[in-house]
């Protein structure tokens, strides 16, 4: 918890169990399993960008896509988070390791991947199957910019 704010940064403590024979029984010095995946980077122009995401095996893919869209191709922060997403592998509870693409990708891309022999699964637009991401950028002039993923229920806010 962040001192004096009451903000709890994560809820993975709920992963513990009180039952005697539980696999992750609450005990001293035990740590909760977590897959938090934040990324922080300083760009050449002085901007500092932080981004985090969830989404099973897609976390690193989402991080890379959002970073590249924003820092390399100059896409706006919110647009880089909102853009169509893919996932190669599994996500929470899923057994499928297919390539999953949101239906917002152009059909020619889906057809080319299928023609190349790739098993492609089409996910609904803004499917939370492909994770939720959030990002903030601190600009050299002091501006703080935030973006929240429309696939989830989070929001960018400041006080």
Contact status, residue 104 vs residue 79, Cβ threshold 8 Å: no
Higher per-residue confidence, 35 vs 91? 91
Please give the average per-residue pLDDT across 110-119, as a whole number. Answer: 91
* pLDDT of 8 over the 90 cut: no
* pLDDT of 13 over the 60 cut: no
What sign has the CA pseudo-torsion 75, 76, 80, 82?
negative
Which residue, among 124, 35, 130, has the nearest Cα to 91 in the 3D structure? 130
Cα distance between the two ends of the chain: 18
Entry pTM: 0.75
Architecture of domain 36-148: 4-Layer Sandwich (3.60)
* pLDDT of 73 over the 70 cut: yes
């Amino acid at each position: 918890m962040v001192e004096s704010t009451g903000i709890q940064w994560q809820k993975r403590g709920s992963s513990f169990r009180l039952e005697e024979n539980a696999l992750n029984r609450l005990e001293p010095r035990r740590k909760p399993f977590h897959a938090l995946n934040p990324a922080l980077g300083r760009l050449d122009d002085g901007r500092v960008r932080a981004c985090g995401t969830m989404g099973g095996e897609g976390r690193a893919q989402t991080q890379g896509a959002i970073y590249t869209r924003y820092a390399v191709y100059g896409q706006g922060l919110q647009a880089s988070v909102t853009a169509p997403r893919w996932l190669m592998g599994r996500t929470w509870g899923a057994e499928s390791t297919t390539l999953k693409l949101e239906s917002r990708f152009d059909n020619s891309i889906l057809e080319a991947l299928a023609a190349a022999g790739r098993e492609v699964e089409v996910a609904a637009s803004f499917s939370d199957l492909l994770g939720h991401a959030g990002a903030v950028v601190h600009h050299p002039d002091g501006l703080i910019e935030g973006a929240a993923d429309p696939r989830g229920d989070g929001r960018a806010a400041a006080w």
